[in-house]
A and B are shown apart, each in its own frame.
Chain A
Amino acid sequence: AQTVTQSQPEMSVQEAETVTLSCTYDTSENNYYLFWYKQPPSRQMILVIRQEAYKQQNATENRFSVNFQKAAKSFSLKISDSQLGDTAMYFCAFMHPNTGTASKLTFGTGTRLQVTL
């Protein structure tokens, strides 16, 4: 079974600064997907970024980028130019892409990010 670990329960960053959220995972599979989801106080689950394990290039989405280290099983999220609207819980999640397991995500426990003025 896969496990996902987020070792930072809470983090704080000043507006316009850069912050990195950590995530490690454990799997014996070679092909899989990794995700970062944002959950604001409304509890809506918002997909931030997605990484396919067979792609060596790190995914980027505007101010969000990942550092994917497959050998180390590490998947950190970097938020550049932090904005007040980035304040939220952030969850790292793993999915193995076989038919029958699609839509089965394994989540970490989350990191609460506070962006301050």
Chain B
Amino acid sequence: NAGVTQTPKFQVLKTGQSMTLQCAQDMNHEYMSWYRQDPGMGLRLIHYSVGAGITDQGEVPNGYNVSRSTTEDFPLRLLSAAPSQTSVYFCASSYSSGGAGGAGNTIYFGEGSWLTVV
């Protein structure tokens, strides 16, 4: 049971380069999201998706792009990397419990992707 799989686990980029962080889940979850974690801070939401073809911005979306062409995959694209994007990135997925307004109340996280922009 793979759960939420993120690749790559580690990446070093030069300023201005582009790259894509991959996220895949095999649990048929409707909801997927991307967070970043910086030193001294909790995770902050970058983008999220409530289903294939539907995405929206979170708290810190600038500099990132997402798309959701399938239920399983939710890639995060950095179009022109900047040192301020050095962080640990987490992908998460969840399903709707069907209760309390349809909340996805069990959220599964990937193992994180360490990104350094020099």
Contact = CB atoms under 8 A, between A and B. Distances in A.
Instruction: Name B's interface SS.
Output: strand
Given A109-B41, A110-B42, A103 B58 contact: no
B103 A33 contact: yes
B42 A52 contact: no
A103 B31 contact: yes
Interface stretch (B11-19, B60-68, B86-94): B86-94
B44 A109 contact: no
Interface in A13-62: 31, 33, 35, 42-45, 47, 50, 52, 54
B53 interface: no
Contacts of A106: 45
B87 to A, nearest CB: 11
Contact of B101 (A43, A98, A107): A98
B40 to A, nearest CB: 7
B92 A103 contact: yes
B28 interface: no
Contact of B42 (A4, A33, A100, A104): A4
Interface size bucket, B side?
20 to 34
| Most chain A CB inside 10 Å of its own CB: which residue of B32, B33, B37, B40 | B37
A95 B101 CA distance: 12
B94 A102 contact: yes
Nearest to A107: B42
5 contacts: A47-B107, A52-B105, A103-B48, A104-B58, A105-B92
